[in-house]
Amino acid sequence: MTDVYLQEVCPRDGLQIESVILPTDDKVRLIDSLSQTGFSRIEVSSFVSPKAVPALADAAEVFARITRVPSVTYVALVPNRKGAERAIEAEADELNMVASVSRTHNLANMRMTTEESFLGFSQIARLTLDAKRLLNGTIATAFGCPFEGAQSEVEVLELVGRYRELGCTGITLADTTGMANPRQVTRLVGAALSLVGPEALTLHFHNTRGLGLANVVAAFQAGARRFDAALGGLGGCPFAPGASGNIATEDTAAMFEEMGVPTGLDLRTLLSLSHGLPTLVGHDVPGQVVKAGLVGDLHPAPI
Ligand code: COA
Ligand code: ZN
């Protein structure tokens, strides 16, 4: 039994900000390994402008080459109609539309206003639902914006409502640059859960200020059950100053398992995949359990 769902975003959020572009072969191998560890949802790539995010320019090829496990939903991030057409063509199971509550961040990230993003989303929703794919709506900077600071919770909740009206089966509240704190999370998650059920709500936290797992616990206690996380704690938005990694999947899974909350994930396999990440990306990664070991990994007594 799984009480909490961790959704792997390393192949998309994790790799989009890396300066070294991973060869397609390595991405396919990584996603195929992740498919074997018990995830219900893996975000594979983005169908965005290759000029904006060169690291994910091979999205179609990655989708074509991965070995799909039937129990896994393979997700593609899309910013506009062109991205949606490409994602449907690539047979993504779910399209994830992203807009920021902060107008300034949306302009930096998508080169259009939040309103303009939503105009395009009506077309994307029609295409996606006609193609019988799942549709998720992400609200970026939901807990604060690196340009504008605090964001209106009323506006965040309005966007939740707009996504629902478009037919989104899932809604994600994203803390793009790790500005959330646990009390704020308790409040906003509580309010969001009065609009959508826990099966439809995902929290997407970044550990930029070290509060990632504190925010996960606050959201969990407020009733949230779905969390995005990236293997090794890689990740970040290339268009948000100071962005850094997502919460690390293996650290989050280890925490929940220690708390007695089953994740359905094969923790040892995740740790071994995380162990291989520095070789893939060419630098150390933030995940901590892979360095410290699991709580149960005891050391011989020093005699
Ligand atoms: N996929 C591939 N190419 C795309 C595209 C898509 N989804 N959308 C636009 N393009 C191409 C256009 O065809 C055009 O190509 P050309 O120069 O060869 O003619 C070029 O990109 C510019 O198109 P335009 O519609 O003017 O886009 P833009 O320059 O205003 O950029 C976005 C808008 C949304 C496409 C771009 O800002 C983007 O991809 N942002 C994503 C950022 C991101 O992934 N952030 C992190 C995740 S939240
Ligand atoms: Zn992110």
59 C-alpha vs ligand 1 centroid, how far in Å?
14
Q: Which residues of 62-93 are buried (b: 16+ CB within 10 A; e: fewer)?
A: bbeebebeeebbbbbbbbbbebbbbbbebebb
ipTM of the complex: 0.98
Please determine, for residue 23, whether its predicted confidence score (pLDDT) is greater than 90.
yes
Which residues, in sequence order, are CB contacts of 34 under 8 Å at separation 6+? 8, 10, 11, 42, 231, 273
Q: How far is the CA of 46 from the centre of ligand 1 (A)?
A: 11
Put residue 229 in one of left, alpha, beta given phi > 0 → left and psi -120 to 50 → alpha. beta
Ligand 1 atom with minimal separation from the 109 CA: 42
The pLDDT score that the predictor gives to residue 1 is 58
Please give the mean pLDDT across all residues of the chain: 97
- Rounded to the nearest 10 degrees, the angle between the axes of helix 114-130 and helix 81-89 is 30
Instruction: For ligand 1, say whether the CB of 239 is within 6 Å of any of its atoms.
Output: yes
Cα 105 to averaged position of ligand 2 atoms, centre (Å): 13
Residue 79 CB–ligand 1 contact under 6 Å? yes
pLDDT category at 68 given cuts 50, 70, 90 is: very high
Residue 116 confidence (pLDDT): 98
Task: Say which residue the tokens 């050391």 belong to.
Answer: 299
- The response to whether residue 81 sits with its C-beta less than 6 Å from ligand 1 reads no
Specify the residue with its C-alpha closest to ligand 1, atom 15: 49
Contacts of range 191-199, beta carbons closer than 8 Å, 24 or more positions apart:
191/153, 191/157, 192/156, 192/157, 192/160, 193/222, 193/223, 193/224, 195/157, 195/160, 195/161, 195/164, 196/160, 196/164, 196/171, 198/223, 198/224, 198/225, 198/226, 199/225, 199/226
pTM: 0.98
Residue 303: per-residue pLDDT: 85
Who wins on pLDDT, 1 or 244?
Answer: 244
Nearest ligand atom owner, CA of 234: 2
Q: pLDDT tens-digit profile of 183-223?
A: 999 999 999 999 999 999 999 999 999 999 999 999 999 99
* Residue in this structure with the two tokens 């970040």, named with its chain if needed: 236
Q: Tell me the three state secondary structure of residue 50.
A: coil
Residue type, 64: A
Q: Provide the pLDDT confidence category of residue 159 given band limits of 50, 70 and 90.
A: very high
Find the catalytic residue in 10, 145, 168, 237.
237
**18: confidence class by pLDDT, cuts 50, 70, 90:** very high
Q: What is the pLDDT of residues 54-67, one digit of tens each?
A: 999 999 999 999 99
Ligand 1: atom nearest CA of 77 is 47
Q: Per residue in 234-252, pLDDT tens?
A: 999 999 999 999 999 999 9
pLDDT tens per residue across span 270-303: 999 999 999 999 999 999 999 999 999 999 999 8
Half-sphere exposure in the Cβ direction for 32 (13 Å, CA): 11
For 117-145, what is the mean pLDDT? 98
| Active-site residue, 145 included | no
Ligand 1 and 45: CB distance under 6 A:
no
Please indicate whether residue 46, judged by its CB atom, sits closer than 6 Å to ligand 1: yes
- pLDDT given for residue 2 in this prediction: 76
